[in-house]
Structure formats: structure tokens, C-alpha cells
């Protein structure tokens, strides 16, 4: 049977071999899920809440196993590993406290039909598919599965073939308390994902823009609804009145957090010329202080190795092309030597960049900060919006109201003022992109739950009436009354 080999990213050693779920296995999983889903949806919301809170306890019983697998398969440092599991725990708490309220039917008026009753119900799609990436497996796979489950759906999760272990172990833990078939994990590459899209009633994907387009095209054949969170090339605008120390600290972390392999990474920094030299000098010192590499203990490392050679090759190519076109390498810019074949890269700062360079227009996905000096705010906004992406952005100024006004002019689904990236972890805020960065949003109060529901409109006539004035037979008098009503309501 074909299998996937999962590698320890710090040593390149094989840590697991998992059999691949082919199209027949996906079909069987979908049949099991569809047989389990009606009973799951029929449970009272408070009962689904109870079971999912028990599932969280089961996950935490296995936390050492899950976190060890997550660290090995992603190369993440301990802080980031724990952060992923913490995020899952938060999501369960968030939806458990609010799901019953958010899924409650909503009454609406029925004007111009007087005396009737209007209701909106939030119904589960039925079977939801989740395709997750390798850079934040738990946060993005389980994070999408949870609201779908709270809404009453059955869920099939396909984690990345590069990082399937932590997701699989988490789902195994959940399934010690969840009804059989309600939540399943599928292992595989592109063909497994394609088969999943063909089986489900709704698909949620986090990944590259290319992956999103392929999924959306395939889903369109059956008119399957999609939720897509895709790539980013996120800008940071630093104005001359910004708190430089805070902005510099944020830029260093935002560019290098999780090896820069984050769709919300700070990849483009536009700084007003009055402070650009000082900003670059301070940022260089911060980046040079970041500790990483094969010889750095996990307890003190700020980020780990790349997920693999393909990604590091993209970063190298972007840097080389930028230098050829006149960018300045302030620090870093090279792969760190490793005896065991792991892929570490030095934290890097480029200055003198512009939009003729791929590193300012294409997703780099590496620990690289790029600083471009601009004449004024208008130039910064123009460059920030000059992108096919629109996921996340940040504005830095001591004038909060001005910062909010600027944020509203940036073409992105999410913008921070004097902060970065952390907004994606706030359950009360929706998170999603525009342009090539996605379709729809997750989190965000009831919107994150309703994303996995369809709205069912119900109108009720509670009175005992033989017929309606609008039914046959029509008469001239009825039409005249309607015309008079129209002019009374709208013609004055």
C-alpha cells in the first residue's frame, strides 16, 4: 500500500510512515460521515458542546505525544508548538460559550406581508471537508473543523502530507468521545484532496493561492461552497511619528516568526524617509540578535528550520534577484550550514528594495524583512495596495485615529494599528483575505460559525385564512389598490 514518509525537519530522519487514503478510501469515509451526521446534528447544541469539551480534555491527555510530533514534523520551537495547541483550546472555549446563542433561530419581519411570521434557521451543510497546510497544522486544521462540528456537520480533515501526525493524533484523541464517523482524518497528497472535494457539501481550505484556485475550480463542478484562506504579501506602513522601538520589535518578529512561513508575515515594510535610516539601523540590530540554527538549543531558538528544500530555494532566488536589481543586504541572506541535512536560514534584512523585485510582489515565505523608504503616506498606501494579495497589514503611528483612518484605506481583509499578526488569534475578529488571498472569513463572533451553515428562511402564516389577496383570481381593483399603496409608500 502506498505510504507517506513524515520527516523530522531538524534531522531529516523519517519519524513515521502513514498509508495513503486513495479515492476509494475517501468515498468510504464520506459514506461513514454521512451516516453519522444526522444524529450528530439532531443533538442539542449543549450536548455537542459537552462532547467537544470532553474532546479537549482527551487531547490534553495526549499533549506530550501531539506536541512532540508537531515539533518534529514542522521544526517549530517550543513556544510556537504550545501556541498551536493553546489556540485549539481557546477555540473550543470560545464556541462552547456561544454556539447555542449563535445557532438559535432568528425572527425577522415579513413586511409588506402583514400578520405573517419570518424565521431564519442556521442549518449545517452536512459534510464539510477541511484541507489544511503544513505551517500551522493544528491551528488551521482543527481550527476549521471545530466550528463545523459545533454547527452540526460531520467533518473530513486532510492535513498536509508534510505534517499529518499532530492532526491525526489530535483527531484520534477527540474520537475517544465523539460519535464514530463524525470527525475523520484522511492522509494523502493532491489526489486525496481532489477526491475529498468531490465528496463534500462544503470545503474549507488554507493554503497557497494556486491551491485555492484548483480547489475552487473543482468545487465549482458541483457548485460546492468554498471557504479559502490563501497567500499573503503583507505590508507594514511605518510613519514618522511611530514609536520606533515598538515598530522595530514588531518588524523583526513579524518577519521571522515561525521561520517567516506564515501567510500573515510582515514581508513588505514601507517607512517614511525621515526615519528610514534610523529604522533600518535599529531593525538590523534586532534581526542580528535573533537566534536560530542547527546548533541552537530549542529553549533559546526563536525559530526553527524550513519545512524543506523547495521553500528555501524560493527564498534564495528572491534574495538573489533583489540583490541583482540593486537591493542592499544589511544582514543574513544565507543558508546556515548543517551536518544532518536540515534547512536553516539566517534572519535577513534587505533595504533599497522596490516593486521591480519579486521579493516585493511575490510571496517569499521566509525570515526576510524588506525595507523600502517612501516620500510620504500617500506613496506608502499606493505601494501597499499595489499587490495581487490582500490578507493582513499594519499601520504604525502614535495618532490612533489617524492610524484607523489609514487602515480603512488599505486593501486587505485584516489590518492592525500598532500591532501585527496577533489579530489572527482573536476569535472575536473575522479573519479572511481579499483579492488572491481568499474567499470568505473565519472566526469573528457568529460569522465564524455561520460560515459552516446555510441559512434556511421559513415563513409561517399563523392565521386561519382561506386565501391571500395576492392569489388568483386577479382583479383590476386589486391592481389599483397595489398601485395606490406603492405611491403612498414610495411616491412622495
pTM: 0.96
Active site residue 278: no
pLDDT at 6: 98
CB distance 465 to 115 below 8 Å? no
pLDDT at 338: 86
pLDDT at 1: 75
Residue 305 CB neighbours (<10 A): 27
C-alpha 53/C-alpha 89 separation (Å) is: 9
pLDDT at 446: 93
Report all structural domains of the chain as residue ranges with CATH numbers, in order of start.
3-230+444-454 (3.40.605.10), 234-426 (3.40.309.10)
Given the residues 73, 84, 161, 229, select the one marked as catalytic: 229
Tell me how far CA of residue 317 lies from CA of 263, 323, 333, 351, in angstroms.
19, 10, 11, 16
pLDDT at 402: 98
Given the residues 185, 256, 263, 370, select the one marked as catalytic: 263
Active site residue 89: no
| Chain Cα centroid distance, residue 67 | 21
Nearest to 302 by CA among 371, 386, 367: 367
DSSP assignment of 177-224 equals: TSPTTSEEE---SHHHHHHHHHH-SEEEEES-HHHHHHHHHHHHTTT-
DSSP assignment of 74-106 equals: H---HHHHHHHHHHHHHHHHHHHHHHHHHTS-E
Residue ranges of the chain with per-residue pLDDT less than 70: none
Nearest to 139 by CA among 85, 198, 98: 85
pLDDT at 299: 87
Amino acid at each position: 500500500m502506498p505510504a507517506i514518509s513524515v520527516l523530522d525537519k531538524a534531522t531529516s530522519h523519517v519519524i513515521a510512515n502513514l498509508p495513503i487514503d486513495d479515492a476509494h478510501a475517501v468515498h468510504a469515509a464520506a459514506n461513514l460521515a454521512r451516516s453519522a451526521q444526522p444524529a450528530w446534528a439532531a443533538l442539542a447544541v449543549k450536548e455537542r458542546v459537552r462532547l467537544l469539551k470532553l474532546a479537549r480534555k482527551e487531547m490534553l491527555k495526549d499533549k506530550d505525544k501531539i506536541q512532540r510530533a508537531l515539533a518534529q514534523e514542522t521544526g517549530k520551537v517550543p513556544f510556537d508548538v504550545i501556541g498551536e495547541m493553546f489556540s485549539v483550546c481557546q477555540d473550543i472555549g470560545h464556541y462552547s460559550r456561544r454556539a447555542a446563542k449563535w445557532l438559535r433561530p432568528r425572527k425577522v419581519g415579513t413586511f409588506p406581508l402583514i400578520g405573517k411570521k419570518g424565521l431564519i434557521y442556521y442549518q449545517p451543510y452536512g459534510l464539510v471537508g477541511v484541507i489544511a497546510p503544513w505551517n500551522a497544522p493544528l491551528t488551521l486544521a482543527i481550527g476549521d473543523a471545530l466550528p463545523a462540528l459545533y454547527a452540526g456537520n460531520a467533518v473530513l480533515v486532510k492535513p498536509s502530507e508534510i505534517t499529518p501526525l499532530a492532526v491525526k493524533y489530535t483527531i484520534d484523541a477527540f474520537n475517544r468521545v465523539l460519535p464514530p464517523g463524525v470527525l475523520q482524518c484522511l492522509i494523502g497528497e493532491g489526489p486525496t484532496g481532489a477526491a475529498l472535494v468531490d465528496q463534500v457539501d462544503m470545503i474549507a481550505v488554507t493554503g497557497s493561492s494556486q491551491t485555492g484556485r484548483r480547489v475552487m475550480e473543482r468545487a465549482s463542478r458541483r457548485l460546492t461552497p468554498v471557504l479559502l484562506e490563501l497567500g499573503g504579501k503583507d505590508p507594514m506602513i511605518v510613519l514618522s511619528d511611530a514609536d520606533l522601538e515598538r515598530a522595530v520589535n514588531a518588524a523583526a518578529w513579524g518577519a521571522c516568526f515561525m521561520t517567516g512561513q506564515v501567510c500573515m508575515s510582515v514581508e513588505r515594510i514601507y517607512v517614511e524617509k525621515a526615519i528610514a535610516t534610523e529604522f533600518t539601523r535599529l531593525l538590523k540590530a534586532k534581526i542580528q540578535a535573533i537566534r536560530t540554527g542547527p546548533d541552537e538549543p530549542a529553549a533559546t531558538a526563536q525559530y526553527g528550520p524550513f519545512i524543506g528544500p523547495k521553500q528555501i530555494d524560493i527564498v534564495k532566488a528572491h534574495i538573489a534577484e533583489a540583490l541583482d536589481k540593486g537591493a542592499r543586504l544589511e544582514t543574513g541572506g544565507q543558508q546556515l550550514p548543517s551536518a544532518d541535512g536540515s534547512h536553516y536560514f539566517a534572519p535577513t534584512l534587505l533595504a533599497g528594495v522596490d516593486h521591480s523585485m519579486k521579493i516585493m510582489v511575490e510571496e517569499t515565505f521566509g525570515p526576510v524583512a524588506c525595507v523600502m523608504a517612501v516620500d510620504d503616506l500617500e506613496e506608502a498606501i499606493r505601494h501597499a495596495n499595489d499587490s495581487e494579495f490582500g490578507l493582513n497589514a499594519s499601520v504604525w503611528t502614535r495618532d490612533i485615529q489617524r492610524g484607523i483612518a489609514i487602515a480603512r484605506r488599505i486593501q486587505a481583509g485584516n489590518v492592525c494599528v500598532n500591532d501585527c499578526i496577533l489579530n489572527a488569534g482573536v476569535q472575536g475578529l473575522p479573519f479572511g483575505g481579499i483579492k488572491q488571498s481568499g474567499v470568505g472569513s473565519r472566526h469573528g463572533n457568529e460569522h465564524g460559525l455561520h460560515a459552516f451553515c446555510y441559512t434556511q428562511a421559513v415563513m409561517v402564516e399563523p392565521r386561519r385564512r382561506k386565501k391571500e389577496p395576492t392569489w388568483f383570481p386577479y382583479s383590476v381593483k386589486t391592481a389599483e389598490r397595489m398601485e395606490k399603496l406603492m405611491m403612498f409608500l414610495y411616491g412622495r
